[in-house]
Chains A and B, each alone.
Chain A
């Protein structure tokens, strides 16, 4: 039932995730003794060249990204499908962390985690990656609570550059989670840039601070409508203890017009850390 990697180097332990085009299994790398997470294309898609190409590109992105808050590549294997062997991060996704452990994350921890996440995204935005179109950085474009891992020492790790785009690369068509996407991602004619990720980071911040998703909707159409035109739920209504300044930051990050948002991650971080002194005192 585990994928066949064509080598005895990895001993599979258990399935830890999956869905869509792939599955993720926990395994032990018998050469190094380290636990690894192996993301494999679902066997039904073994002959889909476009998906294989995507996996390959994702592997190459990780190869160039060397940041403490971005998960690292161990190996890339083409054998009965494609397999990305990544460092295993022991902990839980931000989604499970919020749902099962903390609820709304205490402001101080929230700021630490956001600093981890945003600095990782900032690094990727500015890193010269040796893939056509990625020379001026990589956009993540799928930032959501299930794509951030929280380690046992409360450090955040960004995962899944599976649908990323190079800064100067042409836009591709991808399915993404509508709840956390920016309005321009719903419009195929619009360009995506760093500010698209900044929007999603704003939504992430909302969910971390008040423990629930930024919009509620009963249908896909209603959700699309909210993403395009409506402000996020007011955090004070959901969780009264929240510092007002945080709402201002979330609002600025999640402006519908990219020109009104923070233009870079470092602007975002600066505002966030300025407020750090107010919120935690």
Chain B
């Protein structure tokens, strides 16, 4: 009878160096009558038997395949005879068992050993230190070589695929800076022209009024923090787990491609609550559960996250932060002004900013491993889900008509990257 603990932490019997495995992930109970039972220790990514997630202690049959996070566990190795030469894990277990059995005389023995072999021990320590340094440099070198090989492989594969390719390894390319943003795609009807004209006018007058107010990136980060606090009090905000890992992985892949980063530390928060939305402030990106469920593939996620990054990098939130700061200086009067300003400014004045964020986002996605054309599918679907816009809706909505948006995206991708999206 024995219990084997598996996890990322070194205290486990089987230590797995895999980020999808929790520190203490699972334990396997081996009974005397060949009864084997696995229990998940509340791990983040779960334990599966034959691909099915287990929620309670589960009996393992002889051919069942056990997985912790994304790592396979060859649990039958622990059933094998300890003398078996092919067995890589059992000898360790045997040693551990021996130690347990001889527990009572272990301590005095080990003290003697240390005293008698002090010199040898120090010598050994120095040698192993040197070996570690050597191994470190060697693996560094190997890592570089390996990642280059995998990049080649992935790029080869890419040419054969119609669908977006997702892989851990892509060239560390930055977004291009020689791009011209063309907004003529928005001017398809008179009312849009008026809306965008008024939006531009509003922004330029804001600029004049607020030119004396100085805000730093820290002010924006502070605003992000206060938004986080208000969400934490209202909804369930999740900072780890499967969804967060997945979103963060994509986010990291995009944020390293920003050509001239302003210095935000981009972070994902997965929010369970009523709203069906994605909101950003000060580098924090809040993805609501309902909105997350709209995504069909990683490239769509990339498109939306890149759009949110763009709002931060272009500084769309800066003017709001400025207003808030200015309002704070005027006390209560300022707060009333801020509320009035919110009511009096239709969200549609920001349509141009939304498209600007779309296009900036495309520039990030285009140099990543994700497929920029998928963004069109997503915005299209989002628009279809919401009710049909009429002019009034358009005036009240910050997200532009889907047809204009689609045209803007297609044109941008076609003219700047020579890629035609279907």
Which chain A residues have a beta carbon within 8 Å of chain B's beta carbons? 5-7, 11, 13-14, 28-35, 53, 56-57, 59-60, 63-64, 73-79, 83, 90, 127-128, 130-132, 152
- Cα distance A73–B51 in the bound complex, in angstroms: 13
Q: Is the CB of B86 within 8 A of A127?
A: yes
Q: Is the CB of A60 within 8 A of B163?
A: no
B1 in the interface, Cβ–Cβ < 8 Å? no
**A64-B74, A130-B79 known; A75 vs B166 contact (CB < 8 Å):** no
Q: Can you list 16 A-B contacts with CB-CB less than 8 angstroms, sorted by A residue number?
A: A13-B161, A14-B163, A28-B165, A28-B167, A30-B166, A31-B70, A32-B70, A34-B168, A53-B63, A59-B65, A75-B67, A77-B52, A79-B51, A130-B77, A132-B62, A152-B156
- Chain B residues within 8 Å of A60, by CB: 63, 65, 76
Q: Is the CB of A35 within 8 A of B167?
A: yes
Q: Which of A64, A130, A132, A152 has the most CB of B within 10 A?
A: A130
- Cα distance A7–B48 in the bound complex, in angstroms: 11
Q: Is the CB of A11 within 8 A of B166?
A: yes
- Chain B residues within 8 Å of A57, by CB: 63
- Cα distance A130–B76 in the bound complex, in angstroms: 6
Q: Is the CB of A75 within 8 A of B63?
A: no
Q: Is the CB of B166 within 8 A of A33?
A: yes
Q: Which of A14, A75, A130, A131 has a CB less than 8 Å from the CB of B51? A: A75
Q: Which of B63, B65, B166 has a CB less than 8 Å from the CB of A28? A: B166
What is the minimal beta-carbon distance from B325 to any residue of chain A, in angstroms? Answer: 41
- Chain A residues within 8 Å of B74, by CB: 63-64, 130
- Cα distance A125–B48 in the bound complex, in angstroms: 30
- Chain B residues within 8 Å of A53, by CB: 63
Given A56-B50, A56-B64, A132-B62, 17 other A-B residues pairs in contact with their CB atoms under 8 A: A11-B298, A13-B161, A13-B165, A28-B165, A28-B167, A33-B166, A33-B167, A57-B63, A63-B74, A76-B65, A78-B51, A79-B52, A128-B80, A128-B86, A130-B74, A130-B80, A152-B156
Which residues 167-204 of B sit at the A interface, judged by CB distance below 8 A?
167-169
Q: Is the CB of B165 within 8 A of A75?
A: no
Residue of B nearest to A7 (CB): B51
- Chain A residues within 8 Å of B166, by CB: 11, 28, 30, 33
Q: Is the CB of A75 within 8 A of B72?
A: yes
Residue of B nearest to A31 (CB): B70
Could you tell me the dominant secondary structure of chain B's interface residues?
loop
Residue of B nearest to A27 (CB): B163
- 0/1 per residue, B63-101, Cβ < 8 Å to A? 111010110101011011000101100000000000000
What is the minimal beta-carbon distance from B114 to any residue of chain A, in angstroms? Answer: 37
- Chain B residues within 8 Å of A130, by CB: 74, 76-77, 79-80
Query: How many of chain B's residues touch chain A, expressed as a range?
Result: 35 or more
- Cα distance A73–B63 in the bound complex, in angstroms: 14
The 4 closest A-B pairs by CB, nearest first: A77-B51, A33-B168, A130-B76, A76-B65
B153 in the interface, Cβ–Cβ < 8 Å? yes
What is the minimal beta-carbon distance from B79 to any residue of chain A, in angstroms? Answer: 6
- Chain A residues within 8 Å of B226, by CB: none
- Chain B residues within 8 Å of A74, by CB: 72
- Cα distance A30–B167 in the bound complex, in angstroms: 8
What is the minimal beta-carbon distance from B273 to any residue of chain A, in angstroms? Answer: 22
**A56-B63, A128-B84 known; A83 vs B168 contact (CB < 8 Å):** no
Q: Is the CB of B157 within 8 A of A90?
A: yes
What is the minimal beta-carbon distance from B323 to any residue of chain A, in angstroms? Answer: 41
Q: Which of A63, A64, A74, A77 has the most CB of B within 10 A?
A: A63
Q: Which of B65, B86, B298 has the most CB of A within 10 A?
A: B65
- Cα distance A28–B161 in the bound complex, in angstroms: 11
- Cα distance A14–B87 in the bound complex, in angstroms: 38
Q: Is the CB of A32 within 8 A of B168?
A: yes
Q: Is the CB of A131 within 8 A of B63?
A: yes
Residue of B nearest to A63 (CB): B74
Q: Is the CB of A63 within 8 A of B86?
A: no
**A35-B157, A152-B156 known; A63 vs B72 contact (CB < 8 Å):** yes
Q: Which of A11, A77, A152 has a CB less than 8 Å from the CB of B153? A: A152
Residue of B nearest to A153 (CB): B149
Residue of A nearest to B70 (CB): A31
Residue of A nearest to B20 (CB): A31
